[in-house]
Amino acid sequence: MNKIKTAFVLSLLATVACTNKPATQNGDKPLQIVNPEKAQIFVTARDTSLRLSQTADATFENFGQPFETQVCVFVDPTRTFQTFIGIGGALTDASAEVFAKLPEATQKEFMTAYYDKNKGIGYNFSRTNIASCDFSSDTYAYVTDKDTSLNSFNVAHDEKFRIPFIKQAIAAAGGTLPMFVSPWSPPAWMKDNDDVLLGGKLLPEYAQVWANHYVKFIKTYESMGMPIWGLSVQNEPMAKQKWESCLYTAEDERDFVKKYLGPTLQKNGLNDKKLICWDHNRDLIYQRATTLLNDPEASKYIWGIGFHWYETWTGSAMQFENLKRVKEAFPEKELIFTEGCVEKFDLNRVNDWSLGERYGNSMVNDFNCGTVAWTDWNILLDENGGPNHVGNFCFAPIHADTKTGKLIYTNSYYYIGHFSKFIQPGAKRIGCSTNRDKLQATAFLNPDGKIVVVVLNLSDSKLPYQLWISGKAAPVTSLPHSIMTVVI
């Protein structure tokens, strides 16, 4: 592991702001808190060999009232917040094409690394693209030009690489892998710029045809053995990109949902699919959410608001406060992280510790602001950060060296694993805070009764602290530039 010192601008821990209620066991009786005795500890740390490594257990003892001089992470299992759905990555064309180039043994290693709950990091959620995106080797559509009836619709393109890849991922995950789907652009002939690239807008006369297209895709994939959990309206609807893109103002998206997409899903028996709006950065999320959700006719179709982390391109830090504002205003709607990756791939940076720290910082704060599911971008890329038909090469948690057939694990893989390996679907986020800004933390109560606490240290300091629960505490040490998961 190369020891590369990097400067990384990080935001402070966002405070919790969601309606809370007393915890319950199995949804009925108030949870009876059992005095904690032992805690298992798993650590990943810079300048060490620790990678999701189990270290010595910690023992709880009576502690009482801490002093301000005593560093603490406080956990309150009697206060619960959102219900956790899952963590996963996007099963893109690029990932599928790279996977197909690997030897069978390496393919098995890859599937185990991501989806095995014991030997890997237990991914249990996923996303894929509707038609081509930047992480495709080519630009393609599922229908022929001007086919408003969609009679030509077929997914033959996906059958070569992506569909077999998705099916292997579902099998590796134990036969169930909730997946949501997102379009990057309607077919060129449906748009005012007659191009799937460079933004453009959906022509009004094709709004119903485009809504029908989502239904065609979902029903086709499901008929082929790939259940669809949900869908987003449009990937990054405010970004005019050199790759596949399509622009919607907040009013455009609101009207498309309430007049076309929502009713069309309902009419075709797909009203159980989770409809996600926005699917773009945190910077404009409140403005988008209020425009969509203040309209009752649009809101009734919308399950939640999706977001990405790329607001940093403007020079801003990640804007977690905006997530809290949305959750405060619309507590009945869900927040879901739909995409994130580190851009501008450079093979010399695959051991850069800031890669993983960006994930840890985002995940702790996103969950503390009410996020129910977290989806990384490409699950696998090659040694060039692709393939990508417009040269938009990026990092993934795992890269493959297609020349040697070997996998390259970045520290992002381990940072994500500190959440995905231990937090179970159906878990409730519980009260958790720290008394030092150098420590960030989030905590969940799993359906099996175990408490999972993730503690992030982005500083150069070694920080001994007390993990405090109900008047008892266990002494733990957070290493510099580390993430740890404590299981109680």
Give the count of beta carbons closer than 10 Å to the beta carbon of residue 5: 10
Which residue out of 253, 311, 334, 339 is catalytically annotated? 339
The candidate with the shortest Cα–Cα distance to 158, out of 174, 145, 146, 142, is 142
Nearest to 413 by CA among 381, 440, 443: 381
Length of the chain equals 488
CA angle 94/99/103 to nearest 5° reads 155
Tokens for 287, please give them. Answer: 């403005």
> 344-378 burial, b for 16+ CB within 10 Å, e for fewer?
ebeeebbebbbbbbbbbbbbbbbbbbbbbbbbbbb
The whole-angstrom separation of Cα 227 and Cα 284 is: 31
| Location of structure tokens 């266990």 | 474
CB 387 within 8 A of CB 137: yes
Q: Which is the catalytic residue, given 97, 236, 311, 357?
A: 236
CA 104 to CA 284: how far, in whole Å? 44
Question: How far are the Cα atoms of 25, 26, 76, 256, 474 from residue 32, in angstroms, in the given order?
Answer: 8, 12, 12, 47, 20
d(CA 365, CA 233): 25
Cα–Cα distance, 185 to 197 (Å, whole number): 8
Contact present, 110 and 380 (Cβ < 8 Å) = yes
**Distance between CA 125 and CA 170 in Å, rounded?**
10
Task: State how far the Cα of 71 lies from the Cα of 478, in Å rounded to an integer.
Answer: 11
Distances (CA, A) of 291 to 266, 296, 397: 22, 10, 35
Active site residue 236: yes
Upper half-sphere CA count for residue 422 (Cβ side, 13 Å): 27
Alpha carbons 357 and 348: distance in angstroms, whole number: 17
> What is the DSSP track for 134-181?
TTSSS---SS-TT-TT-TT---HHHHHTHHHHHHHHHHHTTS---EEE
CA 340, CA 326: separation in Å to the nearest integer?
20
Quote the tokens at residue 405: 């057939």
Dihedral of CA atoms 247, 251, 253, 255 in degrees, nearest 10, equals -130
Catalytic residue IDs: 236, 339
